[in-house]
Amino acid sequence: MRIAVLGADGYLGWPTALHLSAQGHDVVAVDNLIRRRWDEECGTGSLVPISSMEARCARWQQVSGRSITWHNVDLRDRDAVEQLVVAIKPEAVVHFAEQRSAPYSMISPSHGVETQVNNLVGTLNLIYALRDHVPDCHLIKLGTMGEYGTPNIDIEEGFIEIDHNGRHDRMLYPKSPGSVYHLSKVHDSHNLEFACRVWDMRATDLNQGVVYGTTTDECAQHPELATRFDYDGIWGTVLNRYCVQAAVGEPLSVHGKGGQTRGFLDIRDTVRCIELAALNAPAPGEYRVFNQFTEQFSVLELAEKVKHARAAHGLETEIHHVPNPRRELEEHYYKARHQHLLDLGLQPHNLSDTLIDHVIQAVETNISRVRRETIAAAVDWRRGGGLYRAPAASTLATATAR
């Protein structure tokens, strides 16, 4: 198929573009490179060096013999989006091109507005362009498990069966997002469902868990094909942060009690999930939701896994509890269904098989690039945002007790 990957310069977009190209698809990569500019603004950077899009695409053609066409397009520009869709006439579009950091969206009012405008306007421009020019195109949109929040009932895959006052209906699962970023994803989901219901479009909403790892078969073929590794308090994921803290000799900073539970998956499973969705398109007018994760852990469980992995190499690591800068339940029920992608043939990788070989190895290889001052949580959601640097974890070991 001819597949456009939007946000192709990003952590997941680039490995997805490579994977789909390796499977024989005609891949068009689209990005406006804003993620690199956000790094400059926030003083952050990838632990793993990343090449320019031009260098990446050239190296991929040299290594694989396959070409990826690269376009610099901002999805907020309606005319540019329409021209792109008319020119390439995609059969499927994989949409990663959004501001994806919850902490970034909570820094200030301007950051929150930027997040909503970037994500919603870009997605709406895309929906209209696909509707008007390639209405049969399959839109595969990256959502997030964070749309659901942490309800005290099981989380279904997008829809829930409701019995109320003797009546029955199947409705979109209620959403309870925890940040301005997650709110933007909820709005996206409603816009996609509307487009399918009213205009007979095809869309798959992938409510993804937290992704870890940087290694895919394609990225591993040359250093210039590497993807990002974010570990800081704005862009980094909790597992990456713990691995970096352990490597530089800092305690692992668990927010509050550490009972916050989420779904997780290996980056290799992410690219496979995208491929499975593309190969199994929904019917016209069908809006479907896949919960895209393979395992679930609390943040304290993750810290313990990192501690044990380091201990296997004779290295001691401490776990300290620090004040939670987020407004969230620190202990809660969490049971989310994630069957649809398994039914399509996903064969998951487990964190226990990946942590040492892939994640910790990536950190050790690039440890000289760690910016220690950026590791801790950088945004205080409880006080309305604002950049700050948390106190050292060692001084806050008894925070939960207080």
* pLDDT for 383: 73
- Residues present in the chain in total: 402
Which entry of 173, 181, 231, 287 is annotated as an active-site residue? 181
pLDDT band at 388 (very low <50, low <70, confident <90, very high): low
pLDDT band at 402 (very low <50, low <70, confident <90, very high): very low
97 lies in some domain:
yes
The lowest-confidence range among 68-77, 79-88, 211-220 is 211-220
* pLDDT for 10: 97
Average model confidence (pLDDT) for the chain?
A: 93
* pLDDT for 352: 87
pLDDT band at 389 (very low <50, low <70, confident <90, very high): low
Q: Answer yes or no: are the C-beta atoms of 18 and 53 closer than 8 Å.
A: no
* pLDDT for 377: 85
Q: What share of the chain is helix, strand, coil (3-state, %, to 5)?
A: 40, 20, 40
Distance CA 231, CA 218 (A): 22
Which residue range(s) make up the domain with 87? Answer: 2-216+266-294
Average pLDDT for residues 200-212, to the nearest whole number? 97
pLDDT above 70 for 152: yes
Q: Is 144 a catalytic residue?
A: yes
pLDDT band at 298 (very low <50, low <70, confident <90, very high): very high
For residue 364, CA distances in Å to 95, 239, 245, 246, 274 come to 32, 15, 11, 10, 29
Question: In the chain, count of helices (H) and strands (E)?
Answer: 14, 14
pLDDT above 60 for 399: no
pLDDT above 50 for 398: no
72 lies in some domain:
yes
pLDDT band at 314 (very low <50, low <70, confident <90, very high): confident
88 lies in some domain:
yes
Which entry of 185, 214, 287, 354 is annotated as an active-site residue? 185
Q: Is 395 a catalytic residue?
A: no
Write the burial class of residue 300 (CB in 10 Å: 0-12 exposed, 13-18 middle, 19+ buried): buried
400 lies in some domain:
no
Share of the chain above pLDDT 70, in %: 96
327 lies in some domain:
no
CATH at residue 24: 3.40.50.720
Interhelix angle 13-22/267-279, rounded to 10 degrees, is 60
Report the 10 Å Cβ neighbour count for 397: 14
- Cβ neighbours of residue 299 under 8 Å, at least 6 residues apart? 238, 254, 255, 258, 259, 260, 261, 262
Which entry of 144, 215, 227, 374 is annotated as an active-site residue? 144
105 lies in some domain:
yes
* pLDDT for 396: 33
pLDDT above 50 for 176: yes
pLDDT band at 397 (very low <50, low <70, confident <90, very high): very low
Global pTM? 0.94
- Tally of domains in the chain: 1
The lowest-confidence range among 27-36, 45-54, 341-350, 386-395 is 386-395
pLDDT above 80 for 276: yes
* pLDDT for 350: 93
CA neighbor of 378 nearest in space, from 231, 265, 219: 231
Q: Is 333 a catalytic residue?
A: no
pLDDT tens for 330-360 read: 999 999 999 999 999 999 999 988 777 788 8
In three-state secondary structure terms, 202 is strand
